[in-house]
A and B are shown apart, each in its own frame.
Chain A
Amino acid sequence: MEINNLIAFLGENMQMIYILILSVFVGVEVIGKVPSVLHTPLMSGANAIHGVVIIGSIIVMLNTPADNIGLLTLGFIAVVLGTLNVVGGFVVTDRMLEMFKKKEKK
Chain B
Amino acid sequence: MNQYILEIIYLIASVTFVIGLKMLSGPQTARSGNLWAAFGMTIAIAGTIYLYNSNDPSAVTTREPIKMAFIFGGIAVGTIIGWMTAKRVKMTAMPELVSLFNGMGGACAALISLLEFHHNVGQSERIAVIMAGLIIGSVSFSGSIIAFLKLNGTLSKSLRLPHYNKINTLLMIVTVLAGVYLTASNSDSFGFLILVFALSLLYGVLFVVPIGGADMPVVISLLNSFTGLAAAFGGFLYGNQVMLTGGILVGSAGTLLTVAMCKAMNRPLFNVIFGAFGESAAVATGKSGVTGSIKDISISDTAVLMNYSKKVIIVPGYGLAVAQAQHVIHELEQLLEERGVDVKYAIHPVAGRMPGHMNVLLAESNVDYSKLSEMEEINPEFSNTDVVVVVGANDVVNPAAKTDPSSPIYGMPILDVENSKHIIVNKRSMSAGYAGIDNELFYNPKTSMLFGDAKDVLTKLVAELKTM
Q: Could you tell me which A residues sit within 8 Å of B by CB distance?
A: 5, 9, 13, 16, 19-20, 23-28, 30-66, 71-104, 106
Contacts and interface: CB of A to CB of B under 8 A. Distances in A.
A16 B125 CA distance: 14
Given A36-B260, A55-B45, A55-B48, A48 B224 contact: no
A24 B307 CA distance: 53
Given A9-B125, A79-B70, A40 B357 contact: yes
A53 B77 contact: no
Contact of B18 (A30, A45, A84, A92): A30
Per DSSP, are chain B's interface residues mostly helix, strand or loop, or mixed?
helix
Contacts of B62: 62, 65-66
Contacts of B287: none
B30 A83 contact: no
A62 B86 contact: no
Contact of B234 (A44, A53, A63, A102): A53
Contact of A104 (B115, B125, B369): B369
Closest 6 CB pairs of A and B: A83-B78, A79-B74, A27-B252, A88-B82, A52-B246, A87-B82
B49 A41 contact: no
A23 B249 contact: yes
Interface in B220-256: 220-221, 224, 227-228, 230-232, 234-254, 256
Given A37-B356, A45-B24, 4 more contacts: A20-B248, A56-B235, A88-B82, A92-B94
19 contacts: A19-B241, A31-B257, A40-B354, A45-B20, A47-B105, A48-B38, A50-B227, A50-B228, A51-B41, A51-B108, A53-B105, A53-B247, A55-B48, A74-B114, A76-B70, A83-B79, A87-B78, A89-B101, A95-B87
Contacts of B367: 103
B295 interface: no
Interface residues of B, number: 118
B87 A39 contact: no
A40 B363 CA distance: 12
B21 to A, nearest CB: 5
A82 B116 CA distance: 16
A100 to B, nearest CB: 5
B246 A39 contact: no
A33 to B, nearest CB: 5
Interface stretch (B53-61, B334-342, B417-425): B53-61
B142 to A, nearest CB: 14
Contacts of A61: 67, 70-71
A46 B78 contact: no
B27 interface: yes
B34 interface: yes
Given A49-B41, A57-B108, A85-B102, A34 B24 contact: yes
Per DSSP, are chain A's interface residues mostly helix, strand or loop, or mixed?
helix
Contacts of B235: 16, 56
B169 interface: no
A10 B239 CA distance: 13
Contacts of A50: 102, 105, 224, 227-228, 230-231, 246-247, 250-251
A96 B74 contact: no
Contacts of A48: 34, 37-38, 41, 101
Given A52-B231, A90-B38, A92-B89, A74 B21 contact: no
A41 B30 contact: yes
B83 interface: yes
A13 B125 CA distance: 11
Interface in B71-98: 71, 73-75, 77-79, 81-83, 85-87, 89, 91, 94-95, 97-98
A92 B112 contact: no
Contacts of B30: 38, 41, 97, 100
Nearest to A58: B48
Nearest to B61: A62
A39 B238 contact: no
Contacts of B363: 99-100, 102-103
A56 B253 contact: no
B448 to A, nearest CB: 30
A91 B83 contact: yes
A45 B70 CA distance: 27
Contacts of A32: 256
B74 A80 contact: yes
B337 to A, nearest CB: 14
